[in-house]
Structure 1
Amino acid sequence: MIKSGQYNFLDQKRVIYGRNFVDAVFDEITESNAKRVLVVSSKTLHRKLGVTAPLKERLGERLLDIYDDIAPHAPLDNVLQLTQKLLRLKPDVIVSIGGGSVIDTVKVAALSAAVNAESVEEIAALRVTINEAGQQVSPVNPDNLVRQIAVPTTLSGAEFGTIGGAVDTARNVKDIYTHPQMCSQVIIYDAELCRLTPNELWVATAMRAVDHAVETVLSPLATPFTDGPALHALKLFGRSLQAGDQEKMSLEFIQECHFAVWAATIGLMRTPYGASHGIGHQVGAVAGVQHGLCSCVLLPSVLRYNANAAGERDTWIAEALGCKDINASDAVRNLILRLGLPDSLSKAGVKREQLPLIAAAALGSFFVKNNLEPITDVSQIMEILEMAWES
């Protein structure tokens, strides 16, 4: 049967690797002739580790401020604070230093600022909805968002996404926001900088990227163009991810992980992901579980649920992870256990009484609606959650 579909390329300039991030950021600012630069960073990198100090000195009068009031999962009140700062300072460009929460907060704030949102309610009204055809619908599409130069310190892959997630704490739901310019215009991978990332955070966010790769291969809209990079990403992660002392980690292995997350995002918002992402967003919102750990505790069970529909693709995933004669679910779980990460909802701190709330919130997710094995009822999500409850 002939397939029909569409693959969209990202509005990005370049990915830079193997350079000190301060030099690379300065060169990008100089080339673009930006005069007003806002740096957004995590508190740990800015205040505790002093990572932003050399950048502050290098940027001089071009630097407007360093903002570090970033909360996990990008709650809307936090997004509103950054939105107000963007409206007040009017930066030419934002330099984001940190992980997915930093980058996603900037994404949603940039969208909010572009439409002059003044309240949490006005920001929430910008969230994506799903139409009857299962397609994402964004209520606004402003012409120009302030763009990011991203310096990622984790492996979440948020820098490539044209979506951002933010939590509406009033509804206790993580919503999706989207715009073609949400992806970072320039990405700078500094392996030396990433030695400062706690190893448990490094490997946990890597599992988010593993989830990206796996659900790209299992997407209903997967193509040979997306299969190749996604499977190669799994191969790189399988040999380069290590638990241990991050400060002594091989720079070559750290860089291989950067290449892996780059390849793993080949399908990000171009080949729709499935239930691991859709349910995982709500596990994070309802139970406060870190993004990467959501993938750890859900992906093996979603793979089991999808196994029949996946056919030979299940074997492709296992073999890319270096595992023969076992299924993809077990291959992913082996990697999780090798990295010392939790492999069940209970081990991640989710309470059993939260499962129905998670299931109800996940049913309307774009990703759940695009799962390889169709999901049309809360009971099917509960089946996956029950599988994921205990390893």
Structure 2
Amino acid sequence: MSITEQQVSDIVNLTIDQTITLNGFSFRSPPLTLSGEGSTLRVGESLSALGVHKAFIVADAVVAELGLLDSTRRSLHRSGISYSIFDDIVAEPTAGLVQRCKDQLKTCGADAVIGIGGGSALDTAKAVALLIDSNASIADLAAGAQAERKVRLVAIPTTAGTGSEVTDITVIMEDDHRHKYVIKSAHLMPDLAILDAHLMIGVPPAVTAATGIDALTHAIEAYLSSQRNPISEAMAFASIQMIVRALPIAVGNGSNQKARSDMALAAYKAGLAFSNAGLGLVHAMSHQIGARYRIPHGVANAILLPEVMNFNALVCRSELANIARAMGVARDNMTEREQASAAIGATAELVKDVGLPDSLAKFDVKPEDLNVLADDALADICLVTNPRHASSADIVAIYQACLEKQ
């Protein structure tokens, strides 16, 4: 069969078009972000402009007790938006808790979900907003099932760490507390993110430290990601610069408004970076030990981050050298290898400076569990964008190194 001149032309044009788009990328972010002290007072007018009539507030129990919902409630009231509150959120929300929250949302009939609190509250709010109009379960979504969010979604963080307010990801614990569901969907991106550092003033030093290192991990893993792009790189680099400067101050003097504001923006930038570029081996591993041994997510990241950076250095030494520049520890007389080592060393020092552990020896991690943990980490979605291929033996070796530190 002969090929016509038009068919040849079509094939050539298709090849050229596909080659051109290989260098492209997409970048997702919330349609609107409000930032600044007191910005929660604008949530009512913002939702009213979107046609919202009733809101469903999902909040940490502690956040409710501290009165951190007051400004949001006043704003909703002034805009004539009624609301219901679900404030039973605890650390590491389970699929069962999400189901209870979803049932209450269905009963109240709200057309907007507002998550207020740490990562647990925001992740729960995002999950129920996606599930409310779907027959899918959390397990279904984690396995790749599709769902479309129809209600509006607002995310208001009270800690500077998870970046959940600007990501298309949610993480929910299985009911057996042994594994975590990691769900990624464009419909998990909030319609509105609000950064009000005033809500973060009372966060205790230990929580400030853990959430801050979580944000640093997001930024570093996004910067090293195999799917990074120019915008995610810029966001990650800027986030690292802000965190190394502001986190020690926020931990040591939690009433410092400038440090709190900088950390809120840094976590936001890191969230934008990893939501669009992906994460890596630190998160793939921390999800496993966090679920199995109840190690707080930021603490698990803090322990693993320097070791994983050292493992990844084989394939991304120049990127680590750039991270050293962002951290202010690179010198002109250093080789690229020395700059990369400086970045890893500065990361380990920052973890110690803010009072977080650098060893798994303090936790009930059993050596006989390491092979299972490694296999589970290999199946974690976060591993897909790690810059270096990791085998089960590699992961076991990293866990073992973190166990042997004293």
TM-score (norm 2): 0.86
1:238 equivalent in structure 2: 244
2:386 equivalent in structure 1: 371
Contact 2:154 2:190 in 1 (8 A): yes
- Taking the aligned partners of 2:48 and 2:234, their CA distance within structure 1 comes to 36
Deviations 1:148-193 (A, max 9, x none): 2111011210111111111113482111122212122111111221
Shift of 1:272: 2.4
- Taking the aligned partners of 2:327 and 2:253, their CA distance within structure 1 comes to 25
- Which residue of 60, 76, 91 corresponds with 1:42? 60
- Pairing 1:383–2:397 present: yes
2:382 aligned partner, one-letter code:
F
- Taking the aligned partners of 1:248 and 1:210, their CA distance within structure 2 comes to 18
Counterparts in 2 of 1:351 and 1:50: CA distance versus 1, 3 Å: farther
2:396 aligned partner, one-letter code:
M
**Residues 155-304 of structure 1 correspond to what in structure 2 (within 5 A)?**
155=160, 156-170=162-176, 172-242=178-248, 248-304=254-310
Counterparts in 2 of 1:308 and 1:288: CA distance versus 1, 3 Å: same
Shift of 1:319: 2.3
Contact 1:94 1:146 in 2 (8 A): yes
Counterparts in 2 of 1:147 and 1:202: CA distance versus 1, 3 Å: farther
- Taking the aligned partners of 1:357 and 1:297, their CA distance within structure 2 comes to 19
Shift of 1:223: 2.8
- Taking the aligned partners of 1:183 and 1:351, their CA distance within structure 2 comes to 37
Counterparts in 2 of 1:248 and 1:237: CA distance versus 1, 3 Å: closer
- Taking the aligned partners of 1:247 and 1:241, their CA distance within structure 2 comes to 10
Counterparts in 2 of 1:368 and 1:249: CA distance versus 1, 3 Å: same
Counterparts in 2 of 1:231 and 1:173: CA distance versus 1, 3 Å: same
2:90 equivalent in structure 1: 71
Shift of 1:58: 4.3
Aligned Cα root-mean-square deviation (Å): 2.3
- Taking the aligned partners of 2:311 and 2:389, their CA distance within structure 1 comes to 10
- Which residue of 159, 164, 167 corresponds with 1:154? 159
Shift of 1:372: 1.1
Which deviates the most, 284-293 or 23-32?
A: 23-32
Shift of 1:81: 0.6
2:61 aligned partner, one-letter code:
K
- Taking the aligned partners of 2:133 and 2:183, their CA distance within structure 1 comes to 13
Identical counterparts, % of pairs: 26
- Which residue of 125, 139, 146 corresponds with 2:140? 125
Deviations 1:107-163 (A, max 9, x none): 22222222145xxxx4322213xxxxxxxxx22232x34232111011210111111
The structure whose residues are more often helix, as a share, is 2
Shift of 1:244: 6.6
Which deviates the most, 222-231 or 232-241?
A: 222-231
1:135 equivalent in structure 2: none
Contact 1:35 1:92 in 2 (8 A): yes
Which deviates the most, 309-318 or 145-154?
A: 145-154
Q: Which 5+ residue runs of structure 1 have no aligned equivalent?
A: 129-137
Which deviates the most, 174-183 or 57-66?
A: 57-66
Counterparts in 2 of 1:357 and 1:147: CA distance versus 1, 3 Å: farther
- Taking the aligned partners of 1:69 and 1:267, their CA distance within structure 2 comes to 30
- Pairing 1:55–2:72 present: yes
2:35 equivalent in structure 1: 17
Aligned residues: 375
Counterparts in 2 of 1:240 and 1:374: CA distance versus 1, 3 Å: same
- Taking the aligned partners of 1:16 and 1:57, their CA distance within structure 2 comes to 17
Counterparts in 2 of 1:106 and 1:246: CA distance versus 1, 3 Å: farther
Shift of 1:219: 0.8
- Taking the aligned partners of 2:364 and 2:172, their CA distance within structure 1 comes to 21
1:134 equivalent in structure 2: none
- Taking the aligned partners of 1:34 and 1:175, their CA distance within structure 2 comes to 30
Which deviates the most, 294-303 or 183-192?
A: 183-192
- Which residue of 355, 359, 383 corresponds with 1:344? 359
Shift of 1:21: 3.9
Contact 1:126 1:177 in 2 (8 A): yes
Shift of 1:294: 1.7
Does the residue aligned with 1:165 lie in a helix, a strand or coil? strand
